[in-house]
Chains A and B, each alone.
Chain A
Amino acid sequence: MANHTPIWEVFVRAKNGLSHRHVGSVHAADASGAVQAARDVYTRRSEGVSLWVVPSGAITASDPGDADALFAPAEDKVYRHPTFYVVPDNVKHI
């Protein structure tokens, strides 16, 4: 909509070595404005060393209604976890 300033989702990297993490959103006319707004809104207390802004509409999300179909099949595959396998106590480093 013409009179709506676009929404951008904001991601902050807290420090090098960590991934960027979603923290919220800002409104801005363009990408560089969104970075400036994100800096003022989300990093006033050294919360980050790097910012990503992504147009909100560019994110495709899975439908919560499909959550069972997508994620439930993993629940009965316990053999994917190391604790599924019994190893004698005297066997080390495994």
Chain B
Amino acid sequence: MYTVDYANTRDARAAPIEDAGRLAAFEARVAADDFIEPKDWMPETYRKTLIRQISQHAHSEIVGMLPEGNWLTRAPSLRRKAILLAKIQDEAGHGLYLYAAAETLGVSREEMTEALHAGRAKYSTIFNYPTLTWADMGAIGWLVDGAAIMNQVALQRTSYGPYARAMVRICKEESFHQRQGYEAMMVLAAGTAGQRRMAQDALNRWWWPSLMMFGPPDDNSPNSAQSIRWRIKRETNDELRQRFINATVPQAEALGLTIPDPHLKWNEAAQRYDFGPIDWEEFYAVVRGEGPTAKDRIQARIDAWEDQAWVREAAMAHAAKTAAKQAA
């Protein structure tokens, strides 16, 4: 089987045996940039780390639909509405590509969904901020999707084949998300004084959370070293954050908007922007799920799952009935 047979407890990965020779062969393959595929032997920690990372990524795509859904019925034009709808549909698709990739590691979709709803699985903290104005739709596409792309482009070369392939698809589609967001910001930035204020306010609120999306600084990132060695991560949090800042500052300048960081300055010698300190206490508070928006997000997911249970049940009942009729 390509995926895992949950009914078969003899599936090799159900009871992995750690063995020094296999581990050395595995490490050599990964170091040589070979891809690991679903049925290949892998260390249990590699499998578990991937399940955690991929499912967290999938949950982020799914929860990420909620802040944008907030503005769907209030989009300022039919064009913007169609674009936003397509973007939200993509987020659902991205979540599904990723769940499918995680399932090849022997975890079921239902287990992952249950872990999210029970608060055992995390998702990107960025979605625990509220979307207060229409300009937030522009800022999210430009900054949040822009930050996600930095991360995802690097992950196209991740060592686990199904994850890398999902990333290739996602990156192609994510580029539309960022450009439509930037275009929405351009319209506001070139608009009335009120629209410009709205655009600046959205940038002020989304800038620091976007930088936090890359995760804690490298000297405080517990899983980084092994993940880099196993090619689960390809670049460190700080490297990716710096690259994002370098790319984004000139984009803000082109909009005529100001990045809310008084310490931001071009460093000619290092060929990069130096930036001010990040408030990590805020980050950890959001990770811990503090604040009313975090509770709303998970409740919205639980409601969607429970309210639609009858659809899943009806589909299964219909399939069983049709199968029985065909057998008769």
Nearest 6 interchain pairs by C-beta = A29-B315, A30-B319, A29-B319, A25-B100, A24-B100, A29-B316
Q: Is the CB of A61 within 8 A of B39?
A: yes
- What are 26 inter-chain pairs, A to B, with CB distance below 8 A? A1-B6, A3-B110, A5-B316, A7-B103, A9-B2, A24-B97, A24-B100, A24-B165, A25-B103, A26-B96, A27-B109, A29-B312, A30-B315, A30-B323, A33-B315, A40-B93, A41-B93, A41-B97, A42-B93, A44-B90, A44-B93, A44-B173, A56-B2, A56-B3, A60-B1, A65-B41
Closest residue of chain B to A25, judged by CB?
A: B100
A4 within 8 A of B: yes
Please, which residues of chain A bring their CB within 8 A of the CB of B89?
A: 40, 44
Chain A, residues 7-27, CB within 8 Å of chain B (1/0): the string is 101000000000000101111
Cβ of A76 within 8 Å of any chain B Cβ, yes or no, is no
**A1–B166 contact, CB under 8 A?**
no
Binding site for B on A (CB under 8 A): 1, 3-5, 7, 9, 22, 24-30, 33, 40-42, 44-45, 56-57, 59-61, 63-65
CB <8 Å contact, B2 and A29: no
| CA distance in complex: A75, B165 (Å) | 28
**Contact across chains for B39 and A30 when beta carbons are under 8 A apart:** no
Choose one: A1, A26, A45; the contact of B7 (CB below 8 Å): A1
User: With the chains together, A3 CA to B110 CA distance in Å?
Assistant: 9
Q: Which residues of A contact B316 (CB under 8 A)?
A: 5, 29
Among A1, A27, A29, contact of B318 (Cβ-Cβ < 8 Å):
A29
The smallest C-beta distance from B313 to any residue of chain A, in angstroms, reads 9
What is the distance, in angstroms, from A19's C-beta to the closest C-beta of chain B?
17
A60 to B90 Cα, complex, angstroms = 31
Q: Which residue of B lies closest to A10 (CB)?
A: B100
Task: Enumerate chain B interface residues (CB-CB to A < 8 A).
Answer: 1-3, 5-7, 37, 39-41, 86, 89-90, 93, 96-97, 100-101, 103, 108-110, 162, 165-166, 173, 312, 315-316, 318-319, 322-323
Chain B nearest Cβ from A37, distance in angstroms: 8
With A44-B90, A56-B1, A57-B5 given, is the CB distance from A64 to B97 under 8 Å? no
Complex contact A24–B166 (CB within 8 A) = yes
Looking at the assembled complex, report how far the CB atom of A55 sits from the nearest CB atom of chain B, in whole angstroms.
10
* Residues in A whose Cβ lies below 8 Å from that of B5: 57
Query: Which residues from chain A contact B96 at a C-beta distance below 8 Å?
Result: 26, 41
A71: min CB distance to chain B, Å: 14
CB distance from B159 to the nearest CB of A (A): 15
A64 touches B319 (CB 8 A): no
Query: Judging by beta carbons under 8 Å apart, are A64 and B39 in contact?
Result: yes
Chain B residues whose C-beta falls within 8 Å of the C-beta of A1 in the assembled complex: 6-7
A63 to B37, CA, bound (A): 11
Are A26 and B6 touching (Cβ within 8 A)?
no
B198 shortest CB reach to chain A, Å? 30
A61 to chain B: which residues have CB within 8 Å?
1-2, 39
Distance in angstroms between the alpha carbons of A26 and B1 in the assembled complex: 15
| Chain A residues in 8 Å Cβ range of B312 | 5, 29
In the complex, which residues of chain A have a beta carbon less than 8 angstroms from the beta carbon of B110?
3-4
B41 touches A64 (CB 8 A): yes
Alpha-carbon distance between A63 and B39 when the two chains are bound, in angstroms: 7
A9 to B100, CA, bound (A): 10
Hey, which chain A residues are within 8 Å of B2, CB to CB? 9, 22, 56, 59, 61
Starting from the known contacts A25-B103, A29-B319, A65-B41, 4 additional A-B residue pairs (CB-CB under 8 Å) come to: A9-B2, A30-B315, A30-B322, A60-B1
